[in-house]
Chain A
Amino acid sequence: MNKLVLSNITRFILLILLQVTILSNINFLGFINPYLYVLFILLLPLNLDHWKVIIYSFLIGIIIDVFQDSGGINAAASLVAAYLRPNVLKFAFGVSYEFQTIKFYQTPFAQRLTYILLIVFIHHFVLFSFAYFNFTYILEILENTLFSGIFTVLLVVISMILFRKRRR
Chain B
Amino acid sequence: MQQIFNFLIRHKNTLLFLLLLFLSVLFTVQSHSYHKSKFINSANFLTGGVYNWVNDIDEYFNLKEYNNRLVEENKYLRSRLGELNAESSDTIYQDTSSFDNPYKFISAKVIRNQFSNIDNYILINKGKKDSVHNDLGVITSRGIVGIVEESSNNFSRVISILNTNSSISVQLKNTNHFGSLVWNGKDPNIVQLEEVPRLAPVHKGDTITTDGRSYIFPKGIPVGVVDDFELDVNQSYYKIDVRLFNDMTNIGYVYIIDNQNLEELKSLEKEENE
Residues of A within 8 A of B (CB): 17, 20-21, 27, 30-31, 33, 50-51, 54-55, 58, 61-62, 65-73, 75-76, 79-80, 82-83, 130-133, 137, 140
Does B220 have its Cβ within 8 Å of any Cβ on chain A? no
Pick from A50, A55, A70, A80: contact of B40, CB under 8 Å: A70
Contacts A66-B41, A75-B20; A131 near B47 (Cβ below 8 A):
no
B23 / chain A contacts, CB cutoff of 8 Å: 72, 75
A31 / chain B contacts, CB cutoff of 8 Å: 116
User: How long is the Cα–Cα vector from A36 to B82 in the complex, in angstroms?
Assistant: 55
State whether A76 touches B121 (Cβ < 8 A).
Answer: no
Interface residues on B, range: 35 or more
A73 / chain B contacts, CB cutoff of 8 Å: 24, 28
CB distance from A80 to the nearest CB of B (A): 7
User: How long is the Cα–Cα vector from A133 to B249 in the complex, in angstroms?
Assistant: 24
Give 13 pairs: A residue, B residue, CB < 8 Å, sorted on A: A51-B13, A58-B24, A62-B24, A62-B27, A66-B47, A68-B117, A69-B31, A69-B42, A72-B24, A75-B20, A80-B21, A130-B24, A140-B185
Most buried by A among B12, B118, B119: B118
State whether A72 touches B25 (Cβ < 8 A).
Answer: yes
Residues of B within 8 A of A (CB): 12-14, 16-17, 20-21, 23-32, 37, 40-42, 44, 47, 50-51, 54, 114-119, 121, 123, 157, 185, 188, 249
User: How long is the Cα–Cα vector from A51 to B114 in the complex, in angstroms?
Assistant: 34
B188 / chain A contacts, CB cutoff of 8 Å: 30
State whether A65 touches B40 (Cβ < 8 A).
Answer: yes
State whether A71 touches B31 (Cβ < 8 A).
Answer: yes
Contacts A17-B50, A51-B12, A79-B20; A68 near B114 (Cβ below 8 A):
yes
Contacts A27-B116, A33-B116; A69 near B157 (Cβ below 8 A):
yes
State whether A54 touches B16 (Cβ < 8 A).
Answer: yes
User: How long is the Cα–Cα vector from A3 to B234 in the complex, in angstroms?
Assistant: 66
**Inter-chain contact count A-B, CB under 8 Å?**
107
State whether A83 touches B47 (Cβ < 8 A).
Answer: no
User: How long is the Cα–Cα vector from A140 to B116 in the complex, in angstroms?
Assistant: 12
Having A140-B118, A140-B185, one finds 16 other A-B pairs with CB under 8 Å, namely A20-B50, A21-B50, A30-B188, A51-B16, A54-B13, A67-B51, A69-B37, A69-B40, A69-B114, A71-B27, A71-B28, A72-B26, A76-B21, A79-B20, A130-B25, A131-B117
B13 / chain A contacts, CB cutoff of 8 Å: 50-51, 54, 83
State whether B54 touches A130 (Cβ < 8 A).
Answer: no
A80 / chain B contacts, CB cutoff of 8 Å: 21
State whether B50 touches A67 (Cβ < 8 A).
Answer: yes
A82 / chain B contacts, CB cutoff of 8 Å: 17
State whether B24 touches A79 (Cβ < 8 A).
Answer: yes
Closest B residue to A49 using CB positions: B13
B26 / chain A contacts, CB cutoff of 8 Å: 72
CB distance from B171 to the nearest CB of A (A): 29
State whether A75 touches B185 (Cβ < 8 A).
Answer: no
Pick from A17, A27, A51, A75: contact of B27, CB under 8 Å: A75
B42 / chain A contacts, CB cutoff of 8 Å: 66-69
Contacts A21-B50, A62-B24, A67-B50; A131 near B118 (Cβ below 8 A):
yes
State whether A79 touches B117 (Cβ < 8 A).
Answer: no
Closest B residue to A30 using CB positions: B116
State whether A130 touches B28 (Cβ < 8 A).
Answer: yes
User: How long is the Cα–Cα vector from A70 to B27 in the complex, in angstroms?
Assistant: 9
A72 / chain B contacts, CB cutoff of 8 Å: 23-28, 31, 40
Contacts A79-B24, A130-B28; A70 near B117 (Cβ below 8 A):
yes
Contacts A55-B16, A69-B41, A69-B157; A75 near B24 (Cβ below 8 A):
yes
